[in-house]
Structure 1
């Protein structure tokens, strides 16, 4: 009778399968003329767009809170539903940013692993040295980009937590007095969102710089 497979074995199988699928994906893309450098540039552009969308969405959520606090007659349920919709949209936007950053890291790791392997294939010591210097410089700028993106990403969680808290509070306290008590929370969220947008703008600038580097090298 065959023994059941152990958990570590299954984890190893999943890792190998995932790695194989990723390798197959890169091979397939290369057959269409899309190399890892091109894929990395695409992912950086996608992350830029995701961050810009997230900025707009978090700003929209803040504006909805402002409208809510200044509420002066009307349907409180409608205001709650609008606040909830903005929170959920902000959550989705944040998840998209995180996903795009992960994609950048996946392609970036694959690119630099391949580059390091290919450096060892040079027969010319001069060309090998030049390529190694170029790789280290590109890696340094890439690491700076990822660091800026991850730093901006880390600012999203406190904002989402505060938006969620306010949404839950409103769900069970739909009255004018309770809404008035959220003014202090609004000011804190506003400060956090402004800090988040500032970090995202820094990350977007780093993205533009890194993309200009890749484009200049292609030229």
Structure 2
């Protein structure tokens, strides 16, 4: 019975994945007919991922500042302090989701572009032109892999920040008192270091995006 349930769930996942792939394929086909090639969509999505990372940096800085205000709490309405921190945490989760989704969108169009490019190499009758196109494909894939690695490295720095913020927000939620503030005060250095690493990695990914976009537009 368990295997049957697992099989049905697996079938549903595969069906959904196929449907999503079909939708994306239809979308790219429609855009091609409108004169917007995958190459242009890819550049646009990289720009959107870059923008999400830039906005994310500012949001994570804001969350860090709010956490500092909590650990430096020296009197007043603790509930309002917690509410502001929780709001920043929720905004940070939304920013993290945007970054992840934008990176997935880049990966999707890149896979579609490179698959199409490789398939079309077989259509050449002019061997010299085919070799030149194959060389350009390999060069673009190398540059894209460098970009993707930078984006994935930046994405990986999000989880430690979010995990630590979530833990402390949850702890405060059920312990709104001065003792709780004292308990989480020691977490500030860790969160500060995590945010610094996140910002550094995102700066590197943003710079790599700029480089890739400029080379694609040559």
- For normalisation by structure 2, the TM-score amounts to 0.92
| Candidates 175, 190, 200, aligned match of 2:192 | 190
Taking only aligned residues, the RMSD between alpha carbons, in angstroms, comes to 1.6
Inter-CA distance 121–58: structure 2 relative to 1 (3 Å threshold): same
- Runs of 4+ aligned structure 1 residues displaced above 2 Å come to 5-20
| Structure 1 residues 74-153: aligned runs within 5 Å | 74-153=76-155
1:49 matched to which residue of 2?
51
Deviation at 1:178, TM superposition (A): 1.9
Comparing 7-16 with 191-200, greater Cα deviation is found at 7-16
Alpha-carbon offset, residue 73 of structure 1: 1.7
Equivalent position of 1:176 in the other structure: 178
In structure 2, C-alpha distance between the alignment counterparts of 1:67 and 1:17, rounded to whole Å: 47
Correspondence for 1:34 = 36
Indicate whether 1:23 and 2:13 are aligned: no
Distance between the aligned counterparts of 1:8 and 1:176, measured in 2? 49
Equivalent-residue separation in structure 1 for 2:195 and 2:51 (angstroms): 18
Instruction: Label 1:173 to 1:27 Cα distance change in 2 as closer, same or farther (>3 A).
Output: same
Provide, for residues 152-204 of structure 1, a one-character-per-residue CA deviation record: whole Å limited to 9, x for no partner: 10110111000001101111221223212322201100000000100000000
CA shift in 2, pair 1:174/1:6, >3 Å: closer
Structure 2 equivalent of residue 157 of structure 1: 159
Number of matched pairs:
212
Moved more, 165-174 or 135-144: 165-174
Give the 3-state SS of the residue equivalent to 1:181 in structure 2: helix
- 1:192/1:14 CA distance change after superposition, 3 Å: closer
Task: Give, in angstroms, the shift of residue 118 of structure 1.
Answer: 1.1
Where 1:81 maps in the other structure, the secondary structure is: helix
- CA distance in 2 between partners of 1:111 and 1:168 (Å): 43
Call closer, same or farther: CA 1:70–1:135 in 2, change over 3 Å: same
Deviation at 1:19, TM superposition (A): 2.6
Q: Say which SS state the counterpart of residue 73 (structure 1) adopts.
A: coil
How far 1:9 sits from its partner (Å)? 5.5
Per the TM alignment, residue 30 of structure 1 is displaced from its structure 2 partner at its CA by 1.2
Residue 144 of structure 1 and its aligned partner are, at CA, apart by 0.7
